[in-house]
Amino acid sequence: MKVTLSGISRIGASLVAGAIVLFISGCGKGVPNADEGVAKGILLYGNGTEPKTLDPQRATGVPENKIISALIEGLITYHPTDDNLPEPGMAESWESNEDASVWTFHIREDALWSNGDPVTAHDFVYTYMRMLAPGFPGEYSQMLYILKNAQEYKEGDIEDFAKVGVTAIDDKTLRAELVGPTPYFLNMVKHYSWFPVHPATIEAHGGIFDMTAAWTLPENYVGNGPFVLTEWRPNQYVRVTKSPTYWDHDTMKLNEIYFYPVEDANTEHRMFWSGLLHITGTVPTNDVPHLRENYPDLLHIDDYLGTYFYRFNVTEPPLDNPLVRKALSLSIDRQAIVDKVTLGDQRPAYAYVPAGFNEYPAPHKVEFNPEKAKELMAEAGYPNGEGFPELYLLFNTSEGHRKIAQAVVNMWNKNLNINMQLENKEWKVYLDAQTHLDYDVSRSAWIGDYMDPITFLEMFTSGNGNNDTGWSSPEYDRLLDAAFKAGNEKEHFDLLLKAEDILLEELPIAPVYWYTRIYMMDPRVKNWTPKLLDNRPYKYIYLSE
C-alpha cells in the first residue's frame, strides 16, 4: 500500500514530543508545515547545520552552499539534470579561444541585483579583487589562481590588480585570461567562490577587510539570485523568498524556502515523519534497512561525488611520522564500516579521489592490513602501542559521525593497542579547530566542487586554505601546478595520478569511504533530479500533490 506523507503526518503526530516541540517553539508563529508548504509553494529543507557564513568568498561548506546558491548566481549556474553541462546564469553566452585559455562572458542585459542595480562585469572584477586581496581570509582563494597572475597578486609579488587576468571590457563583457588551457573552466565558475558580491553593499559595511559580516544580515543582504534573504534566525531557520528582480523570475514556482539547521539526524527524521520537512539532510543510519523495505518511495540513495576521510595534524608528534599515519590507515576496516555502520550503499575508499570521473582510474592503494600496521608502529618506535600518547579524534555534532568515529577508534585501539578518544564540537567550533590545527585527528569530507578530479587534489597544495593538515610537498605542488596548465586531458590526468600517488604514500589523510547521498523526500517535491554534486537550480523545483 502506498503511504502518502500527509497520512504519515497524522499517524506520527502523537509521537513527536520533546526535541521537535522545543525546536519549532523557538521558530516563532507562522512557520508552515509540509501540507501548508505544498499549498503555498514553500519548500521545507533540512540543511544539516547552522551556516557559518552567507558570504560566498568566505564560505567553505555544503550547508552554506545550499543557501548561498539560492541568493546569488554566478556567470554559469547549475544544470537541472547534468553536472557536466553549463547552464546560463548571469552570462547569457560565452566563448573561448582555440586552446581554452581565454574566456569571454556576455552578461545579460536584464541581470539585476535585488536592490534594482544592474549586474555588471565590473562587479565580478571587484569580487575577484576582494577574494585575491592579500590578507583576505578566503579559504577558496586558490581556486582563482587559474586566473593569470592571481597567485602573484595574492602573495604580494604583484601590487597592480590590473595585471591579473580578469578584465571588464565594458559593462556587460568580462574576459578571463587563464594560466593555461582549461577546458573545464565553465564547471569551475559554477562554484560559489566565483559568485559576485554587490560592491556598494560591501563598501557600505566596512569594505573588503571588514569581518563583522554585517552585510550578510537580512536587512543588508543584496544578492542577484532567484531568492532574497528574508529571515535568519540562528539555530532555527534561514528563510528566503522569491526575488522580484531575478531575470528568470517567471520560471520559478517556489515562493519561499526554509532551511532548517537540524544537526541531530533523529530529530530531523522525526520532523519529516510529523510533516515539518519536505527533504531531510540525512537519515539515521540504523533506520536505513527498515526504510528500504517499507518506504522505498520516500527513501533516496543517490550517487554523490565525495570522499569521507580523516585528517591528521602532521605538525605534532606522533602524527608527524608518516609510518604512524600509514599504520592508522592500514588499521581501518573500510568494508566493515560501509557494511555495518553507514548502511547506505557507500563504497570503501581505496584511494582519495572517488571513482566517477571519466578516464581517471581511481588507484587501489589504500588497504586494510592490521599486521602490516603493527610492524610500522613498531618501526616508528611504538611496539605493541607502547609509549603511544593519548590522542583525540575530532568530529562535528552528528550521530552518524559519532558512530563512524567510534568504529574507527575501536579499530585503532584494538589493532594497534593504543588509546584514542573521541572529541565532539558543534559545526562552527569544529571548523575553527580544524582551520587552526587545534586537533590530533579530524573527521573530514570533501564533495567535488566541479567535475574534474583536480577539485579533490588541489586542496592539499602548500598553503591552500582547505588543506588543514600542516602537510606540504614541493613535488605535489609542482604536479598540481603542471596539471592546471596541461595542454590536454590525458596529460592533465597523468599529472593528477602522480600527485595522488604522493598523497596516498605520505597519507596526511586516511580515506574511509566514497559517499552516497541518503535522504528522505516528500513525493510532492518535483524536479528534484539525482546529481553527482547534489547541486541543483531551485528555480526548477516545485511542489505538487
- Are residues 214 and 192 part of one domain? no
- Are residues 216 and 316 part of one domain? no
Contact 260, 50 (CB under 8 A): no
CA distance to 86, 88, 92, 350, 390, per residue, from 109 (Å): 19, 13, 9, 49, 61
- CATH number of the structural domain spanning residue 106: 3.90.76.10
CA terminus-to-terminus distance, the chain: 18
Closest CA to 117 of 47, 201, 186, 59: 201
- Are residues 190 and 139 part of one domain? yes
Residue 88, amino acid: P
- Are residues 473 and 369 part of one domain? yes
- Are residues 482 and 457 part of one domain? yes
Report the SS3 class of residue 221: coil
Q: What is the pTM of this model?
A: 0.88
C-alpha 243/C-alpha 222 separation (Å) is 11
How buried is 395 (Cβ within 10 angstroms: 0-12 exposed, 13-18 middle, 19+ buried)?
buried
- Are residues 166 and 96 part of one domain? yes
Q: Which long-range contacts (CB under 8 A, 24 or more apart) does 484-491 make?
A: 484/145, 484/146, 484/179, 484/180, 484/182, 484/454, 484/458, 485/179, 485/180, 485/181, 486/180, 486/181, 487/99, 487/180, 487/181, 488/181, 489/183, 489/359, 490/359
- Are residues 537 and 510 part of one domain? no
- CATH number of the structural domain spanning residue 14: 3.40.190.10
- Are residues 293 and 359 part of one domain? no
Mark which of 183, 204, 225 sits at the end of a domain. 204
Q: How many residues does the chain have?
A: 545
Residues spanned by the domain of 416: 302-517
- CATH number of the structural domain spanning residue 505: 3.10.105.10
Cα dihedral sign, 378-381-382-383: positive
Mark which of 204, 236, 260 sits at the end of a domain. 204
pLDDT tens for each residue of the chain, 545 residues long: 222 233 333 333 333 334 444 455 445 567 999 999 999 999 999 999 999 999 999 999 899 999 999 999 999 999 999 998 999 999 999 999 999 999 999 999 999 999 999 999 999 999 999 999 999 999 999 999 999 999 999 999 999 999 999 999 999 999 999 999 999 999 999 999 999 999 999 999 999 999 999 999 999 999 999 999 999 999 999 999 999 999 999 999 999 999 999 989 999 999 999 999 999 999 999 999 999 999 999 999 999 999 999 999 999 999 999 999 999 999 999 999 999 999 999 999 999 999 878 788 878 899 999 999 999 999 999 999 999 999 999 999 888 999 999 999 999 999 999 999 999 999 999 999 999 999 999 999 999 999 999 999 999 999 998 999 999 999 999 999 999 888 888 899 999 999 999 999 999 999 999 999 999 999 999 999 999 999 999 999 999 98
Question: Domains in the chain: how many in total?
Answer: 3
C-alpha 98/C-alpha 117 separation (Å) is 35
- Are residues 124 and 63 part of one domain? no
- Are residues 313 and 295 part of one domain? no
Mark which of 187, 204, 221 sits at the end of a domain. 204
C-alpha 369/C-alpha 64 separation (Å) is 38
- Are residues 157 and 47 part of one domain? no
- Are residues 383 and 292 part of one domain? no
C-alpha 527/C-alpha 541 separation (Å) is 5
**C-alpha cell recorded at residue 95:** 566563448
Q: Which residues contact 172 (CB under 8 A, 6 or more apart)?
A: 106, 107, 108, 109, 120, 121
C-alpha 10/C-alpha 544 separation (Å) is 19
